[in-house]
Amino acid sequence: EAGVAQSPRYKIIEKRQSVAFWCNPISGHATLYWYQQILGQGPKLLIQFQNNGVVDDSQLPKDRFSAERLKGVDSTLKIQPAKLEDSAVYLCASSLEEAGSHEQYFGPGTRLTVT
């Protein structure tokens, strides 16, 4: 079974530029998550999708971050404009929709450096 795919793996941009990350979840997984992991910290949930609907985006900085999941499969996370404090690894995860199935499978992440 193929895992969660993310691209690019690394990205370096200057502050005030925009950037987009792409995620392809495990086939058949209805739920998709985006996390931000700052160096030395645990992942922090940004947004959760179930199919192509948003379940929770309470921790997404909506003035600069946006995310979409068209057709309930792939997802993109965008930052515009980027700030220095956005430097982090952005992790995508997916899980089955089945009741009680909490196991989340993580992708390798995209390491973003904002200079």
Partner 1 sequence: QQQVKQSPQSLIVQKGGISIINCAYENTAFDYFPWYQQFPGKGPALLIAIRPDVSEKKEGRFTISFNKSAKQFSLHIMDSQPGDSATYFCAASNNAGNMLTFGGGTRLMVKP
Contact 114, 11 (CB under 8 A): no
70 φ, ψ to 5°? -75, 140
DSSP 3-state of 109: coil
| The binder of partner 1 chosen from 15, 16, 44, 62 (CB under 8 A) | 44
Contact between 95 and partner 1 by CB under 8 A: the answer reads yes
What's the closest the beta carbon of residue 28 comes to partner 1, in angstroms? 16
Separation of alpha carbons 23 and 110, rounded Å? 10
100: three-class secondary structure by DSSP: coil
Residue 115 contacts partner 1 per CB under 8 A? no
Based on CB atoms, which residue is closest to partner 1, 7 or 80? 7
Q: Which residues bind partner 1 (CB under 8 A)?
A: 4, 31, 33, 40-45, 48, 55-56, 59, 91, 93, 95, 100-109
